[in-house]
């Protein structure tokens, strides 16, 4: 079999990456070369996944225990919501007014109290194993559904987050790099926020890009005449086409341009990174993106947890509450499933450093949209929020229910590179109360 390498050891693929695509000056084609949109059917559902990296405390957010001993209950008081009988932390007053739009799962529990393992579990719905890396939610959605021309199917927003850690979570896993997300690492609240891949480099006009497109077409034809057919080769035309479509169409660039939003809307979401990321997520969904992940970290507060929460919870409050209200007001909530979770909860008893440690035996998860029935609490923990005492829920159940909201059948089988059949989620059942 031919080696497909030049005499200097550079393969055709590396030539394209370092040469022709480098000449374009774009990071986007490098992404689109792997992001195979268009294999599935057109989507009528989309999703926003808010991942609270580090493990948020359940006792000080959505599962407060005001009658527990002081070393358990913490510093904050509960506040009533717009749904009778449901209370949340006093630092979440805006979410309290949107409680009719979301469901609280208070009895989620598992056994993976280490960050990476817990993250892989809660972002895929499958228990982690060294033998296989499961695909994240967004990768499955981008395989199942087709995004509009010129729009990436799956976008991941990273900020306030360990980017090295971000690379280990929510990957495409055994589906392959074709289904990895288009990553945006900038701060959406920054004055100079832009997506570099969507900007033309200085001195590079649309006309010059069109000319270079002709050059790439010629190179591709030449290589096809001498090379053995391969899956990578077959996909190249599609990747180039998607890249040029994104540059030709203003849709993606407009979606990322937050300056198009009225100042009062931006203010309501919150003039901070998380709030503007939530606004950006809404704009991306409107533009046709299938799946947006917002990585918001870090919630790993082993010390001085209450001091940190006084800053983080108001940001979470304005961002998520406004997102839910905005999606609802625009008629998008019914078709946009929203899931918010971390990898685990925090220890019910406050430690000697005024913090809470890792605790996977109880945690809270928020779900909304996509047909999910809001205004309810599902499950219950004991009087110290240590473990479920009613309707225990597994991460697999959360995953199956999330996919149900997106019209995806979790028992469906994919295949690994070696041809091994694997169900999207290997275990779990739909949380029936969510769709009652």
89: three-class secondary structure by DSSP: strand
Mean local confidence (pLDDT), 335-347: 98
DSSP for residue 432: G
Q: Is residue 260, in this structure, part of any structural domain at all?
A: no
Specify whether 128 is located in the same domain as 51.
yes
| Cα-based torsion angle of the residue sequence 209, 213, 215, 220 in order, rounded to the nearest 10 degrees | 150
What is the pTM assigned to this prediction?
0.84
For the CA atoms of the chain, what is the radius of gyration? 23
Q: Is residue 48, in this structure, part of any structural domain at all?
A: yes
Would you state the pLDDT for residue 158?
Answer: 83
Specify whether 425 is located in the same domain as 294.
yes
159: three-class secondary structure by DSSP: strand
The torsion angles phi and psi of 407, rounded to 5 degrees, stand at 75, 25
CA distances from 268 to 32, 50, 272, 314, 329 (A): 34, 18, 11, 12, 14
Specify whether 236 is located in the same domain as 290.
no
Checking if the pLDDT of 266 tops 60, the result is yes
Exposure letters 278-309 (e unless 16+ CB within 10 A, then b): bbbbbbbbbbbbbbbbbbbbbbbbeeebbebb
146: three-class secondary structure by DSSP: strand
Residue pLDDT, tens place only, 39-51: 568 889 999 999 9
Residues 6+ apart with CB under 8 A from 342: 51, 52, 53, 54, 55, 56, 122, 299, 363
Domain with residue 167: its CATH number is 3.40.720.10
Predicted confidence band of residue 182 (pLDDT cuts 50, 70, 90): confident
Residue 152 belongs to what domain range?
A: 43-189+272-435
The torsion angles phi and psi of 341, rounded to 5 degrees, stand at -160, 165
Q: Is residue 209, in this structure, part of any structural domain at all?
A: yes
Separation between Cα atoms, residue 66 and residue 34, nearest integer Å: 50
Q: Is residue 264, in this structure, part of any structural domain at all?
A: no
CA distances from 169 to 117, 159, 166, 269, 345 (A): 9, 14, 5, 26, 18
Neighbours of 321 (CB within 10 A): 24
Q: Is residue 49, in this structure, part of any structural domain at all?
A: yes
DSSP for residue 11: B
Separation between Cα atoms, residue 425 and residue 134, nearest integer Å: 9
Query: Whose CA is closest to 420, among 129, 175, 141?
Result: 175
Q: Is residue 259, in this structure, part of any structural domain at all?
A: no
Mean local confidence (pLDDT), 114-130: 96
Window from 200-209, 261-270, 409-418 with minimum mean pLDDT: 200-209
Residues 6+ apart with CB under 8 A from 203: none
Specify whether 373 is located in the same domain as 398.
yes
Specify whether 238 is located in the same domain as 113.
no
* Whether 428 contacts 397, CB under 8 Å: yes
Q: Is residue 312, in this structure, part of any structural domain at all?
A: yes
In total, the chain counts a number of residues equal to: 436
Specify whether 182 is located in the same domain as 203.
no
Higher pLDDT, 252 or 22: 252
| Cα-based torsion angle of the residue sequence 186, 173, 13, 4 in order, rounded to the nearest 10 degrees | 170
Neighbours of 203 (CB within 10 A): 7
CA distances from 216 to 35, 221, 336 (A): 19, 9, 38
Separation between Cα atoms, residue 432 and residue 125, nearest integer Å: 17
Q: Is residue 194, in this structure, part of any structural domain at all?
A: no
Predicted confidence band of residue 331 (pLDDT cuts 50, 70, 90): very high
Checking if the pLDDT of 224 tops 50, the result is no
Mean local confidence (pLDDT), 110-121: 96
* Whether 324 contacts 98, CB under 8 Å: yes
Window from 10-14, 130-134, 349-353 with minimum mean pLDDT: 10-14
Residue pLDDT, tens place only, 386-397: 999 999 999 999
Specify whether 5 is located in the same domain as 71.
no
Specify whether 121 is located in the same domain as 142.
yes
Checking if the pLDDT of 410 tops 60, the result is yes
Specify whether 177 is located in the same domain as 228.
no
Separation between Cα atoms, residue 416 and residue 283, nearest integer Å: 34
Specify whether 73 is located in the same domain as 151.
yes
Separation between Cα atoms, residue 275 and residue 369, nearest integer Å: 19
Query: Whose CA is closest to 68, among 384, 362, 380?
Result: 384
Residues β-bridged to residue 363: 108
Checking if the pLDDT of 122 tops 80, the result is yes
Separation between Cα atoms, residue 89 and residue 412, nearest integer Å: 39
Checking if the pLDDT of 308 tops 60, the result is yes
Total domains in the chain come to 2
């Amino acid at each position: 079999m031919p080696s497909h390498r030049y005499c200097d050891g550079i393969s055709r693929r590396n030539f394209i990456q370092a040469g022709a695509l480098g000449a374009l000056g774009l990071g986007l084609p490098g992404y689109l070369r792997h992001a195979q949109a268009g294999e599935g059917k057109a989507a009528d559902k989309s999703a926003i996944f808010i991942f609270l990296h580090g493990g948020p405390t359940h006792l000080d957010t959505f599962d407060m225990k005001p009658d527990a001993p002081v070393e358990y209950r913490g510093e904050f008081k509960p506040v009533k919501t717009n749904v009778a009988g449901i209370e949340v932390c006093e630092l979440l007053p805006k979410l309290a007014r949107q409680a009719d739009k979301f469901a609280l799962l208070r009895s989620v529990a598992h056994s993976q109290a280490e960050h990476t393992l817990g993250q892989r579990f809660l972002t895929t719905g499958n228990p982690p194993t060294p033998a296989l890396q499961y695909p994240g939610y967004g990768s499955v959605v981008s395989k199942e559904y087709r995004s509009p021309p010129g729009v990436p199917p799956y976008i991941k927003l990273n900020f306030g987050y360990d980017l090295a850690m971000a690379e280990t979570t929510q990957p495409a896993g055994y589906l392959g790099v074709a289904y990895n997300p288009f990553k945006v690492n900038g701060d959406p609240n920054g004055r100079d926020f832009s997506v570099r891949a969507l900007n033309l480099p200085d001195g590079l006009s649309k006309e010059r890009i069109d000319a270079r497109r002709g050059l790439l077409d010629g190179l591709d034809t030449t290589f096809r005449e001498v090379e053995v057919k391969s899956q990578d080769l077959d996909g190249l035309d599609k990747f180039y086409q998607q890249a040029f479509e994104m540059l030709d169409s203003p849709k993606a660039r407009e979606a990322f341009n937050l300056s198009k939003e009225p100042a009062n809307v931006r203010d309501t979401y919150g003039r901070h990174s998380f709030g503007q990321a939530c606004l950006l997520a809404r704009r991306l969904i409107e533009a046709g993106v299938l799946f947006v992940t917002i990585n918001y970290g870090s919630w790993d507060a082993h010390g001085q947890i209450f001091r940190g929460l006084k800053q983080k919870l108001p940001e979470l409050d304005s961002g998520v509450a406004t997102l839910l209200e905005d999606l609802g007001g625009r008629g998008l909530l019914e078709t946009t499933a929203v899931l918010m979770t971390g990898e685990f909860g925090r220890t019910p008893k406050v430690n000697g450093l005024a913090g809470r440690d890792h605790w996977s035996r109880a945690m809270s998860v928020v779900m909304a949209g996509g047909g999910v029935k809001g205004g309810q609490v599902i499950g219950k923990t004991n009087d110290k929020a240590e473990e479920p005492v009613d309707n225990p829920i597994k991460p697999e159940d959360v995953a199956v229910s999330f996919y149900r909201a997106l019209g995806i059948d979790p028992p469906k089988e994919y295949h690994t590179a070696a041809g091994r059949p694997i169900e999207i989620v290997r275990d779990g059942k739909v949380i029936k109360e969510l769709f009652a």
